[in-house]
Amino acid sequence: MAVGLDLTGKTALITGGARGIGAEMVRLFTQAGARVAFNYRQARERADALVSESGGTEAERAVAIEQELSSPAEGRELVQKAAAALGRLDILVVNHGIWPPDDAPIAQMDEAQWRRTMAVNLDSVFGLVQAAVAQMERQGRTAPDGLAGHIVLISSTAGQRGEAYHADYAVTKGALISLTKSLSSELAPKGIQVNCVAPGWVETEMSAGTLNDPIRGPKAKALIPVGRAATPREIAGPVLFLCTPLAGFISGEVVNVNGGAVLVG
């Protein structure tokens, strides 16, 4: 008998779901049977297309929510909207984030860039997690697996080894790893499992400028033992797994999905 990754009956909020890794997560989670809400900021047409592709709002398979994420209040607001649209919230995947593409030496980095990166990549996460945990605790351990919920934070290899000229981004991704461990210690006894996925280079619009550059692209790929960047689906897959009963004894873990580029453990 085949073993499936089944999320039938589950609801999920995936941030940054209109494009790239987030859009692939929406596809994979809905294919696994979950009902999914995701936010977008400007990509309205892409969001609508993804909703239609995933089953449309009539079947409540996927719901797109226009929502900026740059403060704790906006994070809490998105959770409230998602819970209202889905009726409950079983899974939170924090996938959104910004990576300023231009190199910025720390001695010259603009304070506005630093604050913007912190606001989007970290401040909003506080609000998202805070509201999601409160929602899951109100619902209680109603799932068949005896859990109250799952939270998966998306970090990066930059959060593990740092990234020169992108200290603002690396700081936020390192903080998510620390947050994962702190939340796991606090929430696992309450039935909320918190884990982290740390991707390396992925073929997305955000990384295209580097990966497609004739000089920087080959240098980046040379550091990946498997010899290439990941596809978005290769990141979405491990995230899905962490939200299934097959991962029922995994909590506080950082899953490295980087083609062997960074070995931690």
Q: Which residues form the catalytic set?
A: 169
d(CA 153, CA 164): 23
Tokens of 163: 């990234």
Q: What are phi and psi of 65, to 5 degrees?
A: -125, 120
Q: Are the C-beta atoms of 231 and 200 separated by less than 8 Å?
A: no
Tally Cβ neighbours within 10 Å of residue 2: 3
Tokens of 113: 């860039």
| 3-state secondary structure at position 25 | helix
* H or E, element range at 10: none
How many angstroms separate the first and last alpha carbons of the chain?
Answer: 34
